[in-house]
Amino acid sequence: MHPSKSGRIGLYLYGVLILAFLYLPLVAIGFASVSTARYLSFPIRQYTTQWYAQALESDTVSDLLWISLQVATIVTIVSMVLGFFGALAFARYQWRFRRLYQKLILLPIFFPQSVLGLALLMWFNAIGITPTWHTAIIAHLVWIAPIATLIIAIRAYSFDPALEEAARDMGCSTWQTLREVTIPLLMPGVVSAGLFSFLLSWGNFPLSLFTTGADLTLPEWLYAKMVSGYSPLVPTVGMLSVAASIVLVALALTVPLLINRFTRKSSD
């Protein structure tokens, strides 16, 4: 279908407005991070990269990045593994209470995160665990692993179960079927689930706030700094965090292609 000329202009305008709405705040942060002024005001009188230099040298910032990275990485790996097997259990096997279990698993996603965070903190206290960034991993998983499962399950539901049966029929053991058919076919789902898991954990504030104890993740520190003691380091670290996310997305998009090319060459 081809829209009329006025319709087309309308659509373009709509698209541009959406993009502006999404990206203008980010652009503003970008400007703030390169301004010498303490508070952002236009026009910017003098540009500087001093905040970036300061951020990269700062031990606090590197500690923050390191903790956030550890939490997000572990959450990602665990979510991918749990999500993979969970999705298979839902899509491939018939068992009692399957549907009920499927719904119960997804329930934490609908909890307000701050309530969930508080509940988890009380739970950790009750069983005598001192909250650190380790407990934050568990808190993140409660919220993120179901999402990862959901993403992989969509993929698992969409592929023909006859593919696995055919593999078995042609002599594959359970493990060979998994390796030759199931894993390669679910891989796109697993990669997107991993990507989502990482980004959701990396940017999570409400769960971390309650469950990291004395440790600080990046979003927590940014919030604390904005509430008291704002400096242009806040937009700078924010921009660094965005940059890290972009690098990750780029990696996630290119690595499978590279792996694909590599394995195809080696099998030739």
Binding site for other proteins (CB under 8 A): 160, 162-163, 165-173, 176, 180-181, 184-185, 267
Cβ proximity to other proteins: between 91 and 185 the closer is: 185
Helix 183-202, helix 59-92: angle, nearest 10: 140
- Count of all residues that appear for the chain in the document: 268
Instruction: Closer to other proteins by CB, 56 or 259: give it.
Output: 259
- Find the shortest distance in angstroms from Cβ 260 to other proteins: 9
Closest separation in Å from C-beta 139 to other proteins: 36
Q: How far is the CB of 233 from other proteins (least distance, A)?
A: 47
Nearer to other proteins, 63 or 165 (CB): 165
- Contact status, residue 233 vs residue 221, Cβ threshold 8 Å: no
Q: What's the closest the beta carbon of residue 247 comes to other proteins, in angstroms?
A: 27
Element (H, E) at 185: helix 183-202
Contact 89, 156 (CB under 8 A): no
- DSSP structure class, residue 129: P
> Is 109 or 187 the residue whose CB approaches other proteins more closely?
187
To which H or E segment does residue 68 belong?
helix 59-92
Query: How wide is the angle at C-alpha 135 spanned by C-alphas 120 and 214, nearest 5°?
Result: 100
Using the minimum distance from each CB to other proteins, give the nearer residue, 6 or 267. 267
- Closest CB 123 distance from other proteins, rounded Å: 42
Residues forming a β-bridge with 47 = 35
Report, in Å, the least distance between residue 155 CB and other proteins. 12
What is the DSSP secondary-structure string of 161-182?
A: THHHHHHHHTT--HHHHIIIII
CB nearer to other proteins: pick between 54 and 192: 192
| 133-158 and 113-126 helices, crossing angle to 10° | 120
Q: Which is nearer to other proteins, 10 or 256 (CB)?
A: 256
Containing 19, the helix (H) or strand (E) segment is helix 5-33
Q: Kindly state the smallest distance separating residue 169's Cβ from other proteins, in Å.
A: 5
CA–CA distances in Å: residue 168 to residues 142, 162, 176: 35, 10, 9
